[in-house]
């Protein structure tokens, strides 16, 4: 057994027990369920977050690499954004009539995002995806969506689960059925395999003029192969369909203009959310005049889409990112992180590597026995938490993270790999203090 002091999260566990009784599903976001981490070790409830750290309800302090599943990009409670929001609150969190901020943010988005000529707002990622799909269907007068990636909780998307066996289904979350999603929607959203252009071609041949849009996360942790997104765009347009990018997760860190700016392929419509407002609810759907303008005649309307909090937070976040050359910052920081982590991994006998783009590096455990990988991952997440580092196997750095945070992480990884090494030589059961963590939902995109 490890010699480290027993990590106490009793208050978290008590709250979680209470949640079991009064909150179906226990959390609002599946990625915040305790089963996604080392249950009993990783914190479940926090009381304060600042910069790259948070304090849980048991007064443990953690270095945070999750950062609200990437929604925090500048750091928790970031002064520049929070001051802009506080100033705005004093002037009104939402007006009765419209706010000019709506146009100021739209100007900023149009300036930065290559495909943006018109802008609509939402309050979150799934919301943005649902709106993008509504607009694409309305603009083309067609119903079907071919997609690749994770696009949220809404009916249009979850109906794709009817196309697979929920128990061993490849998509999107084995074990979760589309309960409550109208069966009439089955076959209206169809997944395709990322980077498999033949698979996409055959779906287009099959569904032809019914296809409103091809929608995909253009990338996640790796760049797509050269020319892939151009081919997808070409296929979409030859078929009279629109191309939608879901940049809810890949936008902002890599570039304020999104992955599309970095890769050089412009879609017709793009869904954004998460990091665009550093932790305040906000989302946007942007696109070309031709694809967005018909929304003028569609019923797309909601009270809080243009509240002043989200607008001012997003405007301040983008201003800060731009004036601090965020694109280069994330590139340099991620490269340093990857280099130092690689060094410590190379000195370990555990088969593990760090890969992915600098703004979102991922740790991959490798084993000849596939059943050993979840054990390695769980033990890793558990041991990191015990040393005060809260993470899965993905890093979501923020601009508040420092070189010292990298060094703390590297030391913790070194220790965690030593424990995994010992477990591999004897028995994982002797070292695991948590059940094997659940796989996050499958996103189809690397």
Ligand X SMILES: Cc1ncc(COP(=O)(O)O)c(C=O)c1O
Does the protein bind ligand X through residue 152 (CB under 6 A)?
yes
User: Is the Cβ of residue 207 or residue 274 nearer to ligand X in the bound state?
Assistant: 274
Does the protein bind ligand X through residue 72 (CB under 6 A)?
no
* Shortest CB 360 distance to ligand X, Å: 11
Does the protein bind ligand X through residue 126 (CB under 6 A)?
yes
Nearest Cα to Cα of residue 80 among 48, 122, 121, 51 = 51
Size of the site for ligand X (CB under 6 A): 14
- Which residues, including other chains, have CB under 8 Å from residue 11's CB and lie 6 or more apart? 45, 56, 57, 58
| Residue 243 to residues 39, 130, 178, 304, 363, Cα–Cα distance (Å) | 40, 14, 26, 27, 31
**Candidates 92-100, 102-110, 146-154, 170-178 — which segment interacts with ligand X by CB under 6 A?**
146-154
Region of residue 59 (left: phi > 0; alpha: psi -120 to 50; beta: else) = left
User: Is the Cβ of residue 216 or residue 423 nearer to ligand X in the bound state?
Assistant: 216
Region of residue 83 (left: phi > 0; alpha: psi -120 to 50; beta: else) = alpha
User: Is the Cβ of residue 68 or residue 236 nearer to ligand X in the bound state?
Assistant: 68
Helix axes 101-112, 308-323, angle to 10 degrees: 40
User: Is the Cβ of residue 60 or residue 128 nearer to ligand X in the bound state?
Assistant: 128
Rounded-to-integer distance, Cα 51 and Cα 143, Å:
44
User: Is the Cβ of residue 64 or residue 246 nearer to ligand X in the bound state?
Assistant: 246
Question: Phi and psi (nearest 5°) for 57?
Answer: -75, -5
| Residue 170 to residues 151, 167, 297, 417, Cα–Cα distance (Å) | 15, 9, 37, 30
Does the protein bind ligand X through residue 147 (CB under 6 A)?
no
User: Is the Cβ of residue 114 or residue 124 nearer to ligand X in the bound state?
Assistant: 124
User: Is the Cβ of residue 71 or residue 417 nearer to ligand X in the bound state?
Assistant: 71
- Candidates 243, 248, 275, 344: give the one binding ligand X (CB under 6 A): 248
If one counts every other C-beta atom within 10 angstroms of the C-beta of residue 335, the result is 14
**Whether 18 contacts 45, CB under 8 Å:** no
- Candidates 40, 43, 114, 149: give the one binding ligand X (CB under 6 A): 149
Give the nearest residue (CB) to ligand X: 125
Rounded-to-integer distance, Cα 214 and Cα 212, Å:
7
* Shortest CB 126 distance to ligand X, Å: 3
**Candidates 105-113, 244-252, 373-381, 392-400 — which segment interacts with ligand X by CB under 6 A?**
244-252
* Shortest CB 193 distance to ligand X, Å: 17
- Candidates 57, 129, 189, 379: give the one binding ligand X (CB under 6 A): 129
Does the protein bind ligand X through residue 124 (CB under 6 A)?
yes
Starting at the edge strand found earlier in the chain, the sheet holding 189-191 runs: 118-122, 283-287, 269-272, 242-246, 211-216, 144-148, 189-191
Does the protein bind ligand X through residue 249 (CB under 6 A)?
yes
Q: Maximum distance among all alpha carbons in the chain?
A: 67
Give the contact letters, 178-217, x = binds to ligand X (CB under 6 A), - = no. Answer: ---------------------------------------x
264 to 293, contacts with ligand X by CB under 6 A?
Answer: 273
- Residues binding ligand X (CB under 6 A): 69, 124-126, 129, 149-152, 217, 246, 248-249, 273
């Amino acid at each position: 057994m490890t010699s480290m002091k027993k990590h106490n999260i009793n208050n978290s566990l008590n709250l979680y027990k209470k949640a079991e009784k009064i909150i179906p599903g226990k959390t609002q976001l599946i990625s915040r369920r305790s089963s996604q981490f080392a249950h009993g070790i990783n914190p479940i409830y926090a009381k304060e977050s600042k910069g790259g750290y948070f304090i849980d309800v048991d007064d443990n302090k953690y270095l945070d690499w999750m950062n609200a599943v990437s929604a925090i990009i500048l750091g928790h409670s970031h002064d520049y954004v929070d001051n802009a929001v506080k100033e705005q609150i004093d002037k009104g969190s939402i007006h009765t009539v419209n706010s000019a901020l709506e146009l100021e943010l739209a100007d900023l988005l149009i300036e930065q995002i290559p495909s943006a000529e018109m802008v609509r707002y939402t309050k979150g990622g799934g919301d943005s995806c649902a709106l993008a799909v509504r607009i694409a269907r309305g603009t083309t007068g067609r119903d079907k969506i071919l997609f690749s990636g994770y696009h949220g909780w809404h009916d249009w998307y979850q109906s794709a689960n009817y196309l697979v066996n929920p128990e061993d289904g490849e998509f999107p979350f084995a074990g979760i059925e589309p309960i409550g999603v109208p069966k009439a929607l089955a076959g209206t959203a169809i997944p395709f395999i990322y980077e498999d252009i033949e698979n996409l071609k055959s779906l287009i041949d099959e569904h032809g003029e019914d296809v409103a849009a091809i929608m995909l996360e253009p990338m996640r942790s790796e760049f797509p192969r050269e020319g892939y997104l151009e081919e997808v765009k070409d296929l979409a347009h030859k078929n009279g369909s629109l191309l939608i990018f879901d940049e809810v997760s890949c936008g902002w860190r890599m570039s304020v203009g999104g992955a599309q700016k970095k890769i050089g392929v412009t879609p017709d419509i793009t869904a954004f959310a998460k990091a665009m407002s550093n932790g305040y609810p906000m989302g946007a759907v942007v696109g070309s005049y031709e694809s967005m303008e018909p929304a003028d005649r569609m019923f797309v309307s909601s009270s809080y889409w243009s509240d002043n909090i989200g607008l001012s937070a997003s405007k301040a976040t983008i201003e800060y990112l731009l004036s601090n050359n965020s694109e280069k910052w994330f590139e340099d920081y991620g490269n340093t992180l990857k280099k130092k982590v690689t060094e410590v991994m190379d000195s370990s006998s555990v088969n593990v590597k760090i890969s992915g783009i600098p703004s979102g590096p991922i740790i991959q455990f490798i084993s000849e026995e596939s059943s050993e990988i979840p054990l390695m991952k769980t033990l890793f997440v558990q041991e990191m938490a015990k040393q005060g580092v809260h993470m899965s196997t993905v890093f979501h750095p923020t601009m508040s993270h420092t070189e010292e945070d990298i060094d703390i992480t590297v030391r913790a990884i070194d220790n965690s790999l030593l424990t995994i090494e010992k477990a591999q030589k004897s028995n994982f059961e002797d070292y695991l203090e948590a059940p094997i963590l659940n796989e996050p939902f499958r996103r189809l995109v690397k």
